[in-house]
Amino acid sequence: MIELSGISRRYRTGPGGNGNGGNNEAVVVNALSDVTLKIEQGEFVAIIGPSGSGKSTLLHILGLLDKPDSGTYRFLGKDVTRLSDNELAALRNGLAGFIFQQFHLLPRLTAIENALLPLVYAGRAERRDSARARLAEVGLSHREEHRPNQMSGGEQQRVAIARSMVNDPVIIFADEPTGNLDSKSEKEIVDILKKLNEAGKTVVMVTHEREIAEHAGRVIQMRDGYVVSDERRDASLTPVKESVSATDSDKIDNVLSVHRAVGRAEFGDQVQQAFHSIFSHKMRSALSMLGILIGVGAVIAMLAVGQGARESVQKGLASLGSNMLHIHPGAVRTGGVALQAGAVTRLTLQDVEAVAKLDTVRHVCPNVNGRAQLVYKNKNWNTRLQGNGAAYAEMRASVPIVGRFFMEEEVQNRARVVIIGITVAKELFGDSDPVGKIIRINRVEFTVLGISPPKGSFRGWDQDDFVVVPITTAMYRLFGLDYISDMDAEVKEASMMDDAKDEIKQLLLRRHRVSPSNSDVIQIHDMTEIQDMLSSTAKTMGWLLGSIAAISLVVGGIGIMNIMLVSVTERTKEIGLRKAIGARRSDIMVQFLIEAVVMTLSGGMIGIILGSGTAYLLSTLAEWPVKVSGAAVALAVTFSVIIGIIFGLWPARQASRLDPITALKYE
């Protein structure tokens, strides 16, 4: 089964000398020197020797946990000295079983979960039944659901033996299996090893106790890295198989091919292992998640505030209409003197009719503005008064929520009708319906036709504190004007905006006989410019708030990384055990990454709830406009997962690179 030829292993223990001009070369220790031996199938071999003799190093090389510096190691007829770490992990998982002096049971797992651990890395489906059968063989069926701290030392070692047998290995490696046990448990463990050997399993055991070695059929004694004696005690105890068959030699190839296909731990098992680790260290995990929780909560709350602000701006801008042009008289200079707007040219209703006939224009609405005193019974209110055309309701998204808007006939007839804002309705009518009621505006009686839809406050300006009357009524009955203040034109298509501006300006310049050199007497503003500016400002503020919150996430990620690095240190022995029973670097790395992602994702989910609650609390108490969008939630979750991967990658990489022997010996 095993053939060693000229195996040597050296260790460097660090620089020598005192560093003051002395020898700075590393000290080399020869743990094994030119070891040559064979172990046949079915043998029970005990390797003994004093501390430092090299017996443990020999066992580690035999068990594929370590590689020799020189020499050849043939296992089942195959040279394994040049196999990669992943291939050695596959052989440890599929062909070898390990029993350790310190048991190396995972404290958070039950006996059956510890016993089935090698199967996780073998990709086998019958895991729990196989582990249960092995526990029954060592007499622990009644202790399946007990954790290591609920069992005696002998019982823990029997669980370790069940774990070593769960993959039905061809050879068992036992490193001081009775070193930490009382005499009764010691006898039980030796009896189990002898039964395994009698059942055909090859057993290689390291011990420093001669009386334990006497139970083996062959005793190899070592000293200073050399084999000093090799004694076969009783041929009847060693059912030797003299040669390796073709079937035996194919086992390595079969194990490697299967391991390449399914050898890595299944994702569900990895997630389960991650949750075990997280819940076994609740406080540490909670502190890890806290940074992510706060970061995600801040992202959600701040993006909600930013989104709410943007929608508030958009809602305010909606009242300006779409594809709008604002046309008004401009200020000019005459003889070096600046004149006020409209001093040279006044716009009239006839100008409005002319602009409305242009092919690029859909609607035109003339405007006049002023203040007015409103009276209803014993109540009065001073407000902003607008005179507008019948198209105002459609152009400015101001179709009344109660009642109706005035029609073109009422504009032509200078009708005394009025549409009032919600603020005016509350001040004059309270909770009663104002439609059809008579109010006096500057002592002239008007009939209320409807209530304008709410537009809210914009930059401290109450957009609902106003009334609207027909443009002709405002001009001739209230203000005594024969001209308008300005007009708004709605262009048919956004692509026609520039053409419409040019056509309107040229038309008005011709109508008022103004030369092109004085074109500033007519000013035309594109309302989309204002919309873009305000929207851009709101968007910038949203990104600023989100960026500040993202910093919290990064800080939380750094906390995750620190905790995971501590976890790697605390779980060094666990990592060594997992690698010893067949876990590859990628398996260890994936498990730690899953733990990091699970913690960040869990913190992210709680953060979403916290952030949403904070946002709505701000909306309720501070009356800030907020909106928690699905995009913000998706962004926060995605970012938290990315943080988990990025900041969990380094600890996971550190864990995956640990040497199994060094990790198992870590204190």
In a domain, 393, yes or no: yes
| Amino acid present at 652 | A
99 and 230 assigned to the same domain: yes
Q: How many residues does the chain have?
A: 667
pLDDT at 338: 45
249 and 302 assigned to the same domain: no
259 and 282 assigned to the same domain: no
What is the CB neighbour count within 10 angstroms for residue 521? 21
In a domain, 131, yes or no: yes
pLDDT at 240: 47
In a domain, 527, yes or no: no
In a domain, 411, yes or no: yes
Which spans in 571-626 are helix H?
572-580, 585-617
194 and 297 assigned to the same domain: no
306 and 357 assigned to the same domain: no
147 and 234 assigned to the same domain: yes
In a domain, 488, yes or no: yes
From 513, 541, 567, the end of a domain falls on 513
pLDDT at 607: 83
From 481, 513, 545, the end of a domain falls on 513
b/e 345-364 (16+ beta carbons within 10 angstroms → b)? bebbbebbebbbebebbbbb
pLDDT at 263: 44
441 and 551 assigned to the same domain: no
281 and 368 assigned to the same domain: no
pLDDT at 103: 86
pLDDT at 288: 73
Note whether 308 and 624 are within 8 A (CB). yes
- How many domains does the structure of the chain reveal? 3
259 and 275 assigned to the same domain: no
Range of the domain at 596: 270-315+533-664
Q: Both tokens of residue 330?
A: 């401009």
Task: Give the CATH number for residue 105.
Answer: 3.40.50.300
In a domain, 519, yes or no: no
150 and 16 assigned to the same domain: yes
Three-state SS for 628? coil
In a domain, 234, yes or no: yes
What is the CB neighbour count within 10 angstroms for residue 342? 17
307 and 389 assigned to the same domain: no
Provide DSSP, 537-586: HHHHHHHHHHHHHHHHHHHHHHHHHHHHHHHHHHTHHHHHHHHHTT--HH
579 and 645 assigned to the same domain: yes
Provide DSSP, 460-508: TEETTSEEEEEHHHIIIIII--SSBSEEEEEES-GGGHHHHHHHHHHHH
In a domain, 613, yes or no: yes
pLDDT under 70: residue ranges of the chain: 14-26, 123-126, 234-250, 253, 256-267, 309-322, 331-344, 458-460, 527-535, 538-539, 541-542, 545-546, 549, 622-624, 667
